[in-house]
Structure 1
Amino acid sequence: MIQNINKYFSDIYFNLHPTQEEVISHQSLRILQTVQKKQYVMIRDIAEQLSISHNTASEHVKKLVGNGWLYKERSEEDQRKVYLHLTDIGSEILKKNTELDENKLQAALSRLSANEREKIVEAFRLLSEVSK
């Protein structure tokens, strides 16, 4: 069953993924995803999430800030805390590299019945919920 799910997911991703325009590492994508999915992310959270040193995480973040994909914001309550946020460009880069192409997805879904489309959405919703 797991092999089938992985094969189907791989096929879906291969066929419906947008064309990549930017060169971005897997680790950089994981950092952008972490910032997007979690609230109040700091460099130490990135280091923990990726199982890397604080210094390595800091270097990765510095690069992403330099690219204009992330920005830092110091906490008003505690000036020692610096939170990371996605820029609009960072959000767009993340979308292009982690989501399916909406036009390709719409074309594929249009070949299914309304009932089949509902089943697909429900299956992805359930899998998303239990994966958290």
Structure 2
Amino acid sequence: MTLNKSISIINQNWTDIYHLLHYAHQENISHQAIRLLQHIEKKNEATIGDLATYLGVTHNTASEHIKRLIKKGFVSKERCIQDERKVFVVLTADGREVLFKHTQLDNEKLKNVLEKLDPSDIVMIEKAFSLLSQEAKKCF
């Protein structure tokens, strides 16, 4: 099997899994806003400058995006204790919840699927996802 064929199969299976097992989205939030929340969570200490670079936009544009997320109660700004000139954008509890609902699989739906599998298949799935995650982190 060629690498391109493997990529196609992985992508198709991933979109099927996400489509069938994601949480129902109830919040009115853009895909770009979710990506910002996700970047803030993964980075832990994100500044407006970091977010501007991540989005490929100006500092002012990133700042406007963050203002909207602050207004919705999904993020807040906190000064760095060691260097008060730095201001970090951090997730609020509501921000963590909306991010979870928009990026994770529904625990109950996933549980229903996993209960139908052999324990050895579950271990194999865990290993495959862990391996893919580890290698992605090395590349990016």
Q: Which residue of 2 aligns with 1:29?
A: 34
Q: Which residue of 1 aligns with 2:60?
A: 55
Normalising by structure 2, what TM-score? 0.92
Q: Please state whether the residue corresponding to 1:18 is helix, strand or coil.
A: coil
CA–CA distance in 1 between the matches of 2:97 and 2:81? 28
Task: Report 1:1-132 matches (<5 A).
Answer: 1-132=6-137
Q: Please state whether the residue corresponding to 1:83 is helix, strand or coil.
A: strand
Q: Deviations over 1:77-97 (max 9, x none)?
A: 322210011100100000000
Q: Which residue of 1 aligns with 2:3?
A: none
- Is this contact kept in 1: 2:44–2:90, CA < 8 A? no
Q: CA deviation at 1:50?
A: 1.2
CA–CA distance in 1 between the matches of 2:14 and 2:45? 31
Q: Deviations over 1:22-68 (max 9, x none)?
A: 01111101110011001211000001111111111000001101111
Consecutive unaligned residues in structure 2, runs of 5 or more: 1-5
Consecutive unaligned residues in structure 1, runs of 5 or more: none
CA–CA distance in 1 between the matches of 2:20 and 2:116? 15
CA–CA distance in 1 between the matches of 2:94 and 2:105? 18
Root mean square deviation, CA, Å: 0.8
Is 46-55 or 3-12 further displaced after alignment? Answer: 46-55
CA–CA distance in 1 between the matches of 2:22 and 2:44? 27
Structure 1 residue ranges, 4+ long, deviating more than 4 angstroms after superposition: none
Opposite residue 96 of structure 2, the aligned amino acid is S
- Is this contact kept in 1: 2:114–2:122, CA < 8 A? yes
> Percent of counterpart pairs with the same letter?
45
Normalising by structure 1, what TM-score? 0.97
